Amino acid sequence: MARNVWILSAVLVTWAASAVAADVAPPEALKWSARMPSEKIEVGKEYRVVVKLEINSQAGYRPYQNENAAFMVQLLAPDSIRLEVTERTRLLDTPYQRYFVGGAAYVDFRVISKPRPGDYLALNLVGYLAKEKDQWFVRRRGNLLLEPEAELRPTDASRTEWGDREDRLDIGDRAPAFVLPDSVERMHDLRDFLGQYYVVLAMYRHHDETFCYAPLVTLHFQHQRFDEIGAKVIGVSKEDRTLEDFKKLVDRFGPRPPEPTFITLLWDEGGKATRDYDPITYYLIDKEGIIRQIMPGTRVVRPSHRALLNELRAIIREDQAATQPADTRPADTTE
C-alpha cells in the first residue's frame, strides 16, 4: 500500500548572543511548517507524518543531555484516525508520544472513518535546549487539518492536552490538593505551601530509576537558588511499593531522618492521591494554586534546575507586572 508522507519541520533559527533572553528561550527560535498532501484523504489508507527538528549547532545550541531524547512529540488524534506502531516508530510510554532519532520523529496512522470537517491532528513539541551553561524548556503546539494541502496552524501553547485521557491536567487548571507522608511518616499538605511559595511539583516513579532520582538530588543541592525566588520543590514517588523502598531514595540525599532534606520528598502509595498528575512530569504552581507550566520528562531527560529556574522567573515577572499599578507600567505604543 502506498504511503503518503507529510513533512513537519521545526527549525531553531540563528540568534546573536546579545539577543538571547537570559531567562526563557526566545519564542522566535522555533518555527513550525507543515502541509497536507494534495491528494484526497481516503478511508483505509495509511499516512506518515515526519516531524523534523533542526537545531542550529553553529550558533551554539544543542539538545540538553541527550541528542536523541531531549525532544518529543505528544499527539492528540481525532476519532477518524488510528495511530499505528511500526518498526521506525519510537515510543515513550504510550502510543501518543514519539521522540526524535537523528533529527526526526515518525507518526504513522491509518484513516479508519471519513474525517469530519475540522478534524485535525494536534502536536505538542516539547523538549530541552541548551547553550553553554544555560538551559531552556521549549513548548510549541500546532494543528494539522485532515484536508488536502492544509498547512500547520500554530496554536496556543498553553493548551497541552494529548493522548486519550480527557481528564489530563492542563496549564491554567487548579492543582489538585493532596496530603502525603515523608520518609518518617510526617504528613504534608500541598495547600500548606500555597499562598507562601511557588511550587515545583516533581512527579517521579521510584527510587531505583536513575533518571528519576538523579535530577532530584541536583535540586536538593540547588535548593538555595529556589529559596531566593520564593519557590519550594516537592518530589512525589508514585510507584515505590513500600515505605522501605521510598526510604532508599531519601538515603541518597545526605541528611538522614529525622533531619529533613532541603526539598520535600513524599510517598504516594499506589499513586492514588496524585492520580491526576502524570508521572515523570514537573508542574510549576503559583501561590494561588494554579498550574502555570507543565514540563514533561522524556525517556532519559528531566528538567534541569536551570530550565526550572528560567521558567519560574518568567512566571514571577509576569505576576509582578500584573500587580504593578497601571500608571507605572510602560506605555502601550501599539497602533
For residue 307, being part of any structural domain is answered with yes
CA distance 208 to 196: 32
For residue 169, being part of any structural domain is answered with no
For residue 335, being part of any structural domain is answered with no
CA distance 325 to 323: 6
The CATH number given to whatever domain includes residue 306 is 3.40.30.10
Instruction: Please state the pTM of the whole predicted model.
Output: 0.84
The strand pairing partners of 141, in sequence order, are 124
pLDDT on residue 91:
55
* Final residue in a domain of this structure, among 154, 170, 202: 154
Q: What is the mean pLDDT of residues 231-259?
A: 73
Where is mean pLDDT largest: 45-49, 254-258, 326-330? Answer: 45-49
For residue 331, being part of any structural domain is answered with no
Chain segment 121-174, per-residue pLDDT in tens: 999 989 898 888 888 898 889 898 998 888 888 898 888 999 888 889 999 999
pLDDT on residue 19:
29
**Domain of residue 226, residue span:** 179-322
CA distance 9 to 143: 13
Based on the structure, what is the number of domains in the chain?
A: 2
Q: What is the mean pLDDT of residues 22-32?
A: 58
The proportion of the chain whose per-residue pLDDT surpasses 70, expressed as a percent, equals 77
Chain segment 199-214, per-residue pLDDT in tens: 999 998 766 666 666 7
Judged against a pLDDT cut of 60, whether residue 88 lies above it is answered with: no
* Final residue in a domain of this structure, among 119, 154, 189: 154
Residues 149 and 9 in one domain: yes
Residues 139 and 10 in one domain: yes
Residues 143 and 191 in one domain: no
CA distance 303 to 10: 21
pLDDT on residue 10:
45
pLDDT classification of 18: cutoffs 50, 70, 90 = very low
Judged against a pLDDT cut of 90, whether residue 29 lies above it is answered with: no
For residue 17, being part of any structural domain is answered with yes
Mean pLDDT of the chain: 80
Could you tell me which residue, 248 or 315, shows the higher pLDDT?
315
Where is mean pLDDT largest: 16-20, 54-58, 100-104, 278-282? Answer: 278-282
